[in-house]
Amino acid sequence: MPVIHVSILEGRSVETKRAYFKALTDASVKCLGCRPESVSIVLSEMPFEHYARAGKMKADELAEAGLSVEAYHAREAGKKG
């Protein structure tokens, strides 16, 4: 029975998280040969003030760039393709 723990920055929509849960479950079924019912996922969302990289708080990066949380996620989603 896989238990998947994921930490992400806050601000994603319920629809996005729902799609992510489905993708993680589908990948677990395919790779591990388990049933979807046996896959558990624990999602922890953290505020931008609780995440830093290279000593710089993500919230400060957003403020310096003049980005809202929504604008940040929209920009990051645009980088996928």
Phi, psi angle pair for 53, to nearest 5°:
-135, 135
- Return d(Cα 16, Cα 73) in angstroms, integer: 11
- Return d(Cα 66, Cα 75) in angstroms, integer: 12
2 is catalytic: yes
Catalytic residue among 2, 17, 21, 57: 2
Residues labelled catalytic: 2
